[in-house]
A and B are shown apart, each in its own frame.
Chain A
Amino acid sequence: MASSGTVTSGEYIKHHLTNLTYGPRPDGSWGFANSSDEAADMGFWAVNVDSLAWSFILGALFLLFFARVAKRITTAAPGMAQGFVEMVIEFIDENVRSSFSGKNDVVAPLALTIFCWIFLMNFMDLIPVDLIPWALSLVGVHFQKVVPSTDPNVTFGMSIGVFLLMIYYSVKVKGLGGFAAELTMHPFEAKNPILKILLLPINFFLEGVGLIAKPVSHSLRLFGNMYAGEMIFILISLMFGSGIILSLAGGTLQFVWAVFHILVITLQAFIFMVLTIVYMDMAHSHH
């Protein structure tokens, strides 16, 4: 894109940060947005087709590979694929065992899905930023964001999913009263019943903020890290259109940043998984 000359840096960046959005147009018909402003105007019922498609493809890839190995699993000496899959499973199992003290056989597969899926979505960041958008532009797709985890819809979708599970298990384990008590009897405690009632709204406000902050921080942490990383890749790729010396410098920078980013994408996937386990543990533990 930078090579086309007529595009300014600002336009280039903005173009890269626009999703392929499918939604209702102002005239009532449905279609793909032709600019980022148009995409923004489509409102709530628009769909970011690129985010969803990549997220679905990557998740399905992970699950199909693992399920394929699981189907042919043998208790004798494992092959390469099975060895790799078992290594991942044991890694997750160890983490769940060390952080989750309750009894729930959903948490471990939940952690596995989150870790592998987010890792793969983050991994799309290491593919040169222009490669897939350029290839798709040849077949007439004009906007493409290939890293689903740089779309807040995706990260919030997952964190709210975790949040709902957390509420569900809180109510299931502690009962509706127990869960309500947890929200209203802490952090200020009192023995006097009148004082208790007076403290109730304060407690509820503090605990409520804490509760809502969980899915927000959970998803924004991943989104922020991945968005910033993607942004730097875009900025580096701007250098490729500005002479041979800057191009070489850009190539070097891109390599260094990509190597560093291998750490970031793994770490962010890991952090998202560990926080999920911790939240699920909080849902299962009594205070």
Chain B
Amino acid sequence: MNINVTLLWQMVFFIVFVWFSRKFVWAPILGAINERRTTIADGLAAAEKGQQAEEEGRKQAEQFVVQAKAQANEIIGKAEKRGSELVEEAKSTAKDEGERILNSARDEIETELNKAKEALRGQVSELAVAGARQILKKEIDPKAHSELLEQLAAKL
């Protein structure tokens, strides 16, 4: 219970301990605590950011799907329309072509027919002249009676 030099020694210990504690205990430990604190805060912020980005990405993907569906529907509609158009076109082209072929055949038949008629007419007139010559012999001059013969051939 006596106050003595113990007091001064205790003061020296006290000051040395405080100095030691400041230099080798407090600074490194609090530094580590603060560092971890910022790391955790950064991590949490990054996680939140990631979640937001994911949400955004999902929304964008949904939008893309909707757009793609609409586009696909449009393309299908166009293709169907174009298909029917093509069929229609083909139909009309075929019809026209058929008519054209028919017409040309008809024309050909007619020309052939006319040709045959001409030929037949010529042959009949020759035949008639030959027949008449046979009958009349010398009396008939083909040159003098050619007009008459032609009239005859036209009547046939």
B4 and A75 form a contact (CB under 8 A): no
Interface size class of B (residues with CB under 8 A): 20 to 34
- Please provide the chain A residues from 1 to 37 with a CB less than 8 Å away from any CB of chain B in the complex: 17, 19, 21, 23
Our pick among A40, A66, A153, A160 for the contact of B21 (Cβ within 8 Å) is: A66
B28 and A71 form a contact (CB under 8 A): yes
Smallest Cβ-Cβ distance to A154: which chain B residue:
B10
Our pick among A45, A52, A55, A109 for the contact of B18 (Cβ within 8 Å) is: A109
Smallest Cβ-Cβ distance to A45: which chain B residue:
B5
Q: Is the interface of B mostly helix, strand, loop or mixed?
A: helix
Our pick among A86, A151, A154, A158 for the contact of B29 (Cβ within 8 Å) is: A86
**At the interface, yes or no: B6 with Cβ under 8 Å from chain A?**
yes
Kindly list chain B residues whose C-beta atoms are within 8 Å of the C-beta of A109: 18, 21-22, 25-26
Kindly list chain A residues whose C-beta atoms are within 8 Å of the C-beta of B24: 63, 67, 70-71
B4 nearest CB across to chain A (Å): 5
**At the interface, yes or no: A143 with Cβ under 8 Å from chain B?**
no
Write the B1-33 contact mask toward A (1 if CB under 8 angstroms, else 0): 111111111110111011011101110111011
**At the interface, yes or no: B36 with Cβ under 8 Å from chain A?**
yes
Complex: how many Å from CA A42 to CA B117? 172
A70 and B25 form a contact (CB under 8 A): yes
**At the interface, yes or no: B39 with Cβ under 8 Å from chain A?**
yes
B13 and A55 form a contact (CB under 8 A): yes
Write the A34-77 contact mask toward B (1 if CB under 8 angstroms, else 0): 00000110111111100110011001000100110111011100
Our pick among B4, B17, B22, B29 for the contact of A73 (Cβ within 8 Å) is: B29
**At the interface, yes or no: B35 with Cβ under 8 Å from chain A?**
yes
Kindly list chain B residues whose C-beta atoms are within 8 Å of the C-beta of A93: 30
Q: Tally the A-B contacts, defined by beta carbons under 8 Å.
A: 130
Kindly list chain B residues whose C-beta atoms are within 8 Å of the C-beta of A106: 18, 22
Kindly list chain B residues whose C-beta atoms are within 8 Å of the C-beta of A108: 26, 30
Which residues of A does B touch, CB under 8 Å? Answer: 17, 19, 21, 23, 39-40, 42-48, 51-52, 55-56, 59, 63, 66-67, 69-71, 73-75, 85-86, 89-90, 93, 105-106, 108-110, 112-113, 117, 151-154, 156-158, 160-161, 164
**Can you list 13 residue pairs at the A/B interface with Cβ under 8 Å?**
A44-B5, A46-B4, A47-B5, A48-B6, A52-B13, A55-B13, A63-B20, A86-B32, A89-B26, A109-B21, A109-B25, A157-B6, A161-B11
Which residues of B does A touch, CB under 8 Å? Answer: 1-11, 13-15, 17-18, 20-22, 24-26, 28-30, 32-33, 35-36, 39
Contacts beyond the supplied A46-B2, A55-B13, A161-B15: 7 A-B pairs with Cβ under 8 Å: A40-B2, A59-B17, A63-B21, A66-B25, A105-B22, A153-B3, A161-B11
